Structure 1
Amino acid sequence: MRISRTLLLAGTAGAAILLLAPLTASAAAASLTAAFTQSSVWSSGYGAEYTVTNRGDAAASGWVVEFDLPAGSTVSSSWDSTRTSTGQHHRFANASWNGTVAAGASVRFGFNVSGTGVPSNCTVNGAPCAGGPAPSPTSARPSSPAPSVPSSPVPSTPPTSGSTVDVSTAAQLQAALAGARPGQTIRLAPGVYDGSFIGTTPGTAAAPITVTGPRTAILTNPASAGSGPSCPVPTPGWDPGYGIWLAGAPYWRLAGFTVADAKKGVILDDSPHVTIDGLYVHHIGDEGVHFRRSSSDGVIRNSTIEYTGTVQPAYGEGVYLGSANSNWACHGNSGGVDRSDRVQVLDNHIGPYVAAEHIDVKEGTVDGVIRGNTFDGRGIAGQNSADSWVDVKGTGYLIQGNTGTFAPPGTFANGYETHNPVAGSGCGNVWRDNVSDLGGVGRYAINVTSTSKCAGNLNVVHTSNSVTNATGGLTNITPTAG
């Protein structure tokens, strides 16, 4: 064999390459990219996140994203990472629980910026965020070491603003919520947290309060206990059975963890500017997520909601925006109306076995966005007239780029419906680019129940919407080009 190998190497260059190529194959390696997106924008700043994706063929064991902001803009708070800032340069290292990125997988971290400038000179592990070879060690930007993450138990006194509180038991979580301060992050370890979890401290735009953890951190609360007021407000000795409840608590962020086996899932009362990101909500007695009592300007995104209405199918909505006018005496805290306005429902997976509407948009709410969601209609119960993916009783909503399907079991009438329970409601909504498969059961992808009640502010269904397997068609009104 030694003679044959010598003869081959002495032959043509092509033969030598064919022989040696298997001997020089490269080892599997990770290859990270980082993509920037703005999640919300206000006059003096914005919220954003980076998605770190491993496009290689081996797992990455850690990541560091760095970038610069222009003068006049600075990172005011962050989550799901460990941040170090020097002047206009910002460095984000992975947290203890999200450093491993499997091949083909992604992780995210977020931050708020005071100012309007956007990141530049972004690198991930020293290489360009868009991908490409890493610079040599001698030319890479020097960076300060990441600060260590404390592993001590939750302190008995409230930590200072901007700190991270690690919790691993229900009692620790309850104490952390009670002692929360603006800018603080409450970080859940994997495990089951069974109890009543209520946040009542307001965050601020520059310093939101964050509760975050992996999907294996599970909040449960299967039954109410004690007696409380007929209009729910936090009351000593009363547990309403909610998975997590924010009351009078604007500017919070709930990220990553699971809420399951609760009477209701995530309830927001009088808590505007709340972001729900990447939660898993399932096996809930009534509704999964409820923006209630004028919880305006919120966002729910990248979340999965399924198996709701397990106790009361008629009240098993996936996402519930506002309140029915019959409940305004209780929840109508803005001139007698529940003004949970301008809520964005983005890129969620809702269903199967969401017993009522996947999204129920109540009268009195305005100017929300429902975009990029996936609706799985299996298991819609049809109780209390809940027989569609989305029921729009609000006004001025954009419903765009969603994908809906239906298959048995369940009761299904139309993909999207409008209703007009009070004057001016259910009007001025716009549908674009939605894809609907009605499973041979549903009549219309978009059923507009009245035009006479929306004079001067008609609902608009664009021809960019599509439908298959409908007994009726795309819509019961004349579609608009575009």
Structure 2
Amino acid sequence: MRTFRAVAVTAAIALLGATIPYLTSTAAHAAGPVLRVTVTQVSVWATGYGADVTITNTGDAPATAWTVAFDLPAGTTVSSSWSSVRTQSGQRYTFTNVGWNGTVNPGAAQTFGFNAAGVGTPVNCTVNGGSCTGGPGPSPSAPASPSASPSASPSPSASPSGPPPSSPPPPGGPVVDVATAAQLSSALNSAIPGTTIRLAAGTYRGAFATTRPGTADARITLTGPRAAVLINDGPSGTAPSCPAPTAGWDSGYGLWLFGAPYWNLTGFTVAESKKGIVLDDSHHVAISGVHVHHTEDEGVHFRRSSADGIIRDSVIEYTGQVQPGYGEGVYLGSAASNWACHGNSGGVDRSDRVQVLNNRIGPYVAAEHIDIKEGTFDGVVRGNTFDGRGISGQNSADSWIDAKGIGYLIESNTGTFAAPGVFANGYETHNPVTTPSFLNGCGNVWRGNSSDLGGVGQYAIRITSTSKCAGNLNVVHASNTVANATAGLTNIAVTP
């Protein structure tokens, strides 16, 4: 039976959130670089997974380049990768560094990542020609472990017509098949770790919320085809002073996780609701292959310290249908003015380390495609497509991304703008003052982004202030490109 999370194929392999260590064969005490490789599954869905690969130098001299190679079992392929140059020969994949991440200094690390279509995991790993597990390197034709899954469905698609169908859950986990709104509400309210809730195609109208947590070892999964559509016709009743599931009040959210970490949300649609998917105090949630559209306000919100989450391979469009100024596509954290409600981590909304990967956001996202709020740290925005048609200009919404957080990597995204809409710059930073004090809007890095400003926008990347980021400057690399700008690539010095 094919499982929704990767199956162990060697004694060293691990599941979501864990790592697979490999160590090159090196003479004891030899001077020189010693590269250690770890593979971490950062998200898992019904038909594949995403992984980060970290190359750490534990030696005493720099490594000036790296090449990592491994085999995947039949039926599993690498569907996309980033921060590396990928080649393939049969089932063997080779990844070499790009220009900016080849040097690995002693005690430092470089990373790349990949998405896998299928659940088979890497075997026969090498780094710079040496075996990752010690000894001589394996033959490129070495067979994969027979315990790997023999086949898998294609990876989730960002096309509105291309979601993966639901798949069987891991053996032993309870399965709840639902086909009505009442059944879905009941399943959400009674889910236990390891549960898989499978949606049948159809329309589900109601207030769908859960406060049931999964665990790192037994995540809860809600999965269904794109034709399974969640709609909330609310809100209604008297709202509490701060949003929380309350008897007699319907938030209007299409799907609401409150205090519900370790969920997988896969494949289905949320539409025609006040907000699309809202996560409150729900860390390590993986959203994959969903379609969110026609919401009154924002599409997907990681809020109230919903850290270490991921949204990937999804489509978000037609947001802000009632309140254009609050129609963000993906919203990370909360404005400091809302920390009194959502600042549950030392008075701050620390929705940190959220990854936004390979999504299509727009057209007709009325506010920023991604709004990165102050007080959040170290997220990754990579491989997304931003369609700026329909951006409203209301509430200062005039760019694809407003980066007010700290230490984000914004990489390999493609953005375009065309009428109608109000558009100032592709990416902007701002530096709101907060208590406790952070260098907000600082330390962010742009690499390899492609921007077409439609003859309207000024800069692809506009940095509001350098003086407010003393000691933690924003960095714009020369690998970014821009077309049809009225001013240019950026207003600061470009870093090679």
TM-score calculated relative to the size of structure 2: 0.69
User: Are 1:458 and 2:473 an aligned pair?
Assistant: yes
Q: How many residues align?
A: 370
CA contact (8 A) 1:203 1:250 kept: yes
The alpha-carbon distance between structure 1 residues 40 and 125, as it changes in their structure 2 partners (threshold 3 A), is: closer
What fraction of aligned residue pairs are identical, expressed as a percent?
66
**1:435 pairs with one of 433, 450, 471:** 450
CA contact (8 A) 1:284 1:309 kept: yes
Q: Which runs of 5+ in 1 are unaligned?
A: 1-33, 53-63, 68-105, 130-147, 151-159
Q: How does 1:357-376 map to 2 (within 5 A)?
A: 357-376=368-387
The alpha-carbon distance between structure 1 residues 168 and 50, as it changes in their structure 2 partners (threshold 3 A), is: closer
**2:199 pairs with one of 188, 206, 210:** 188
**Which residue number in structure 2 is paired with residue 214 of structure 1?**
225
In 2: Cα distance, 1:50 partner to 1:191 partner:
20
Q: What code does the residue aligned with 2:449 have?
A: N
Greater RCO structure (CA 8 Å; 6+ sep): 2
Q: What code does the residue aligned with 2:218 have?
A: A
The alpha-carbon distance between structure 1 residues 191 and 472, as it changes in their structure 2 partners (threshold 3 A), is: same
In 2: Cα distance, 1:353 partner to 1:178 partner:
34
Q: What code does the residue aligned with 1:200 have?
A: T
**1:238 deviation in Å?**
1.4
TM-score calculated relative to the size of structure 1: 0.71
User: Are 1:394 and 2:409 an aligned pair?
Assistant: no
**2:459 pairs with one of 444, 466, 478:** 444
CA contact (8 A) 2:44 2:286 kept: no
In 2: Cα distance, 1:343 partner to 1:311 partner:
27
The alpha-carbon distance between structure 1 residues 50 and 182, as it changes in their structure 2 partners (threshold 3 A), is: closer
The alpha-carbon distance between structure 1 residues 363 and 128, as it changes in their structure 2 partners (threshold 3 A), is: closer
Q: How does 1:346-425 map to 2 (within 5 A)?
A: 346-422=357-433, 423-425=438-440
Q: Which runs of 5+ in 2 are unaligned?
A: 1-5, 21-39, 49-72, 77-114, 126-131, 134-142, 154-166
CA contact (8 A) 2:75 2:118 kept: no
**Which residue number in structure 2 is paired with residue 257 of structure 1?**
268
In 2: Cα distance, 1:478 partner to 1:418 partner:
15
CA contact (8 A) 1:122 1:128 kept: no
CA contact (8 A) 2:118 2:152 kept: no
Deviations 1:338-368 (A, max 9, x none): 0000000000000000000000000000000
**Structure with the higher fraction of residues in helix conformation:** 1
**Which residue number in structure 1 is paired with residue 102 of structure 2?**
none
CA contact (8 A) 1:258 1:279 kept: yes
Partner SS state of residue 318, structure 2: strand
**Which residue number in structure 2 is paired with residue 141 of structure 1?**
none
CA contact (8 A) 1:278 1:303 kept: yes
In 1: Cα distance, 2:370 partner to 2:260 partner:
23
**1:279 pairs with one of 273, 283, 290:** 290
Partner SS state of residue 145, structure 2: strand
CA contact (8 A) 1:342 1:369 kept: yes
In 2: Cα distance, 1:372 partner to 1:291 partner:
19
Partner SS state of residue 378, structure 2: coil
**Which residue number in structure 2 is paired with residue 340 of structure 1?**
351
The alpha-carbon distance between structure 1 residues 112 and 218, as it changes in their structure 2 partners (threshold 3 A), is: farther
**1:38 deviation in Å?**
10
CA contact (8 A) 2:119 2:152 kept: no
In 1: Cα distance, 2:387 partner to 2:445 partner:
22
**1:163 deviation in Å?**
1.1
CA contact (8 A) 2:118 2:151 kept: no
Partner SS state of residue 316, structure 2: strand
User: Are 1:239 and 2:263 an aligned pair?
Assistant: no
In 2: Cα distance, 1:222 partner to 1:394 partner:
33
**Which residue number in structure 2 is paired with residue 471 of structure 1?**
486
In 2: Cα distance, 1:457 partner to 1:51 partner:
40
User: Are 1:163 and 2:174 an aligned pair?
Assistant: yes
**1:149 deviation in Å?**
7.7
Partner SS state of residue 468, structure 2: helix
- Rg larger in 1 or in 2? 1
In 2: Cα distance, 1:211 partner to 1:455 partner:
44
